[in-house]
Structure formats: C-alpha cells, structure tokens
Amino acid sequence: MNNLGVLLRYRHKDAEAADVFAGSLAVEPNNIVLRLNLGNTLKSLGKTGEARSEFERAGELARKTLL
C-alpha cells in the first residue's frame, strides 16, 4: 500500500495518496515510513497541523525503536 501511495503522489494525486496512507495505518499503526509519507502528503495538501502530528508520531516511534 505504501508503494501505491507513493505512485499516487508521483502522479500528483495527493488527496488519494493521503487516503491510501491513512487506510494503511489503520492496519499497521506503528509503521514509521507510512506515517512519514502521510505527513509529507498532508503537508503538500496544506494540512500542516495534521502533518505535524504525523511527523511527531513517527519521531516517537523511531525513538522507541532505537531504545
């Protein structure tokens, strides 16, 4: 699903990509790459507050993984 989301972003279909990334996170909520991709997509859509939340969550998950 991540690859599909990236392909949609490449084709400038960010709204569809955001749906794919969000749906994927419903199945795999601790996936850092999905969260970062969703954050970047939301940022492109001008949803900076939501993007920041995704980036913060990805950072928390990465720190937890490293520890």
The H or E element spanning position 58 is: helix 48-66
Residue-wise DSSP of 13-48: -HHHHHHHHHHHHHH-TT-HHHHHHHHHHHHHTT-H
Mind listing the pLDDT tens digit for each residue in 12-56? 999 999 999 999 999 999 999 999 999 999 999 999 999 999 999
Residues 6+ apart with CB under 8 A from 36: 54, 55, 58
**Residues 12, 41 contacting (CB under 8 angstroms):** no
**Total-model pTM:** 0.94
